[in-house]
Amino acid sequence: MSLVLLGISHHTAPLELRERLAIAERDLGPALHALLNHESVREGLILSTCNRVEVLADLEAPEELPAFLQTWSGLELQPVRKHLYERRDREAVRHVFRVASSLDSLIVGEPQILGQLKQAYAVAREAGAIRGGLDALLTRAFHVAKRVRTETDLASQPVSVSQAAVELARQIFGALHGKTILLVGAGKMGALAVRALSSQGANRILIANRTLERAQLLAAEFHGEAFPLEDLNTLGERADIVITCTGAQQPLITPKQAAGFLSRRKYRPMLFLDIAVPRDVHPDVHKLDNAFVYNVDDLQAVVDSNLAGRQREAIRAEAIVEAEVEQFLQRLKTLDVVPTLRALQTQMDAIRRSELERMRGKLNGLNPQQTQAVEALTRGLMQKWLHRPVTELKAAALEPAGAGLVDMAQRLFGLDSPHSSALSSPEAPAPHHVKRGDTLRIGSRGSQLALWQANHVKALLEAAGHSCSIEIIQTSGDRIQDVPLATVGGKGLFTKEIEEALIEGRIDLAVHSLKDVPSELPHGLGIHCILPREDARDVLVSLQPEASLRSLPPGSRIGSSSLRRQAQLLALRPDLVVENIRGNVDTRLRKLREGQFDALLLAGAGLKRLGHSGLITEWIGVDLMCPAVGQGALALECRDEDEFTRTVLSSLQHIPSALCVEAERGFLHQLGAGCTAPVAAYASIAGELLNLKALVCSADGKEIIRGQRTVLLGSAEETPEQAGAQLGHELLRRGGDRILAAAASQLAQLKAPHRA
């Protein structure tokens, strides 16, 4: 893979020159085909925005990129060569990661560039211009951008006047749901501020303007009400937030008028955002109690301060990028040995299966459980035998002379798989991927619910014409059944071993309950499909048909394995006895029938999938008991480099469910909490708005910090994931960090006896 990037941007050229090289979105497909017509170009991508035009390619002859750009644009490049920049190999990787992370943008931290890069990637894939190495590079770039957004505050501080208005409003009112906005004047800046505030839940919009027709047009856009400017005196008392942007030469709102508004509102707070020049709100209004006045200079000061803050955060982001560049390049080196490792594992597994088949006649007396035990034993022996050669081959791949050891291993074991390419090795083929006609191997835990989920996915894939098999893999969470999950420690209790099988190529995809999946995935793996979400609510199960949380007698014993459920239940009913329960669904139901518990708290989705809905005595509302992050959702995970499987899974993606869990997992990632921590989040979509509710609670339920955030879907201001991260940041700031630290300390003390 030999990477070359040729580009021009706002850093190197004026707008008029960038315009001449720009490629319209409708022309990207034909341009990519023209690029691929150059003999040495193996893969390519074109990114064309108002601030940059860049061509990225894996090719043998770097001089072909300027030739392509000149031919396509019709512009003689020699006179403008000084405005172009070229990046190769390592520097090209670093540049792509920085662009995706918005570190190279005109406004550092702006989110639009990531969406533009993803769109360019989608166009290139559709055109067949991305197949191997570039696919891995771009996929990793998106991961790097996600890390920068969630691990730094690069994009959290407002850098536009409208964003600053939202931030100030949140500081005064907290959540903006149900707040009323009065826009005085119908200027563009005022409309932008209204749009930003309404996207965060302020849903009652009043517009007063000298020209009523203009007010009516704007009101129609926001589903608001229009009034003549003369009605200002009667409208003011209805507004929580007043935005003024008229061309009046004298203040429209005087201290006397504002005092009247406040008096009739019983002195509930009012925020005045005066973005007019000259000012529409008299400066002395800010002297009134519960009146908060910010003019255009105040808002700009917030923006300037936050821009400086973003520059400081950019230093942290650059460190993340640098580490990711090194990791990606190291991974490219290890790709040399991947086909050999897979061939070795396939050969050993074929021998194992052949020997089992040869001995099958002597094992006829074994029951299914014993047969499964023999299968697991032989597979375990094979993995233990392979561990040392696999480890040594992976380590050798990073050394200059590693190719010799790989070749020797191929000869020793009779393998005929050539090794693939590292950076700047243009002759080598792309990494092996699953191809059409192959049987897709689905990895799953062995519980009844996990197998239902795996078979559900298998049926969906087979209906689409794909052959599938299911491989059962036991996880750490399955093996440890005698202690509460929260005290076990570590991430991925129910996913780690399955993901190891994915990385090693023993399976092609994994089916997970998303609530069990940590917010950070192993390098090289990604969640590439979220199926339609089942009901995410928790439920009460009792032998008493009419039982509910409110009707349970004091002292009732309630079984739950979730620290989140236990804490919220204790907050609602501190008079109940909450006890830990482990085991699969049937085991828990058996313990209930035996009288060990009076009731159980479970996820309703699992009971529905297993046909146990009739046992549910109460579906608990999300406002009463907030669900776990991702609860009710099934996630399909595969290798990022496996283009065929990714494409197959993407056809099953349910966009609304994916957007909701994206927001929830953004919240979880910002908190740095694991799946067993006492945190909860639930997102829902109504029209064009996604609403996210979340909480952090103490283990005893005595302290709960709740929050809520709304994001306009498709908005360039904020993605669902960013909304989740922002809500997480807010709850941490309000005391969530202290609660989580205390919970972690308590769990550490509980874990100590288990370690001993």
Which residue numbers are catalytic? 50
Q: Which residues on adjacent β-strands are paired with residue 212?
A: none
| Closest by CA position to 670, among listed 155, 104, 112, 98 | 155
**Residue 363: which residues within 8 A CB-CB, separation 6 or more?**
371, 374
Kindly write down the DSSP assignment for every residue of 307-329, as one continuous string: HHHHHHHHHHHHHHHHHHHHHHH
The secondary structure of the chain in percent helix, strand, coil, rounded to multiples of 5, reads 50, 15, 35
Beta bridge partners of 184: 208, 244
DSSP letters spanning 96-141: HHHHHTTSSSSSTT-SHHHHHHHHHHHHHHHTT---SHHHHHHHHH
| Whole-Å CA distances, 183 to 4, 231, 581, 716 | 51, 12, 55, 22
* Residue in this structure with the two tokens 């005064």, named with its chain if needed: 172
CA dist 717 and 99 (Å) reads: 18
> Contact at 8 Å (CB) between 253 and 236?
yes
> 161-173 vs 296-334: helix axis angle to the nearest 10?
100
The three-state secondary structure class of 245 is coil
Whether the Cβ atoms of residue 532 and residue 609 lie closer than 8 Å to each other: no
Cβ neighbours around 635 below 10 Å, total: 23
Query: How far is residue 175 from each of residues 153, 307, 694, measured CA to CA in Å?
Result: 20, 24, 12
Neighbours of 386 (CB within 10 A): 16
What is the rounded distance in angstroms from the CA atom of residue 95 to the CA atom of residue 14? Answer: 20
With tokens 């394995």, the residue in question is 561
Pair 442, 457: CB distance under 8 Å: yes
How far apart, in Å, are the Cα atoms of 427 and each of 1, 287, 613, 636? 8, 74, 58, 34
- Give the amino acid at 280: D
What are the angstrom distances between the C-alpha of 655 and each of 122, 634, 684?
Answer: 16, 13, 12
- Asked if 725 and 690 touch (Cβ cutoff 8 Å), the reply is no
Contact present, 60 and 40 (Cβ < 8 Å): yes
Please name the helix (run of DSSP H) or strand (run of DSSP E) that holds residue 528, with its range, or none: strand 525-530
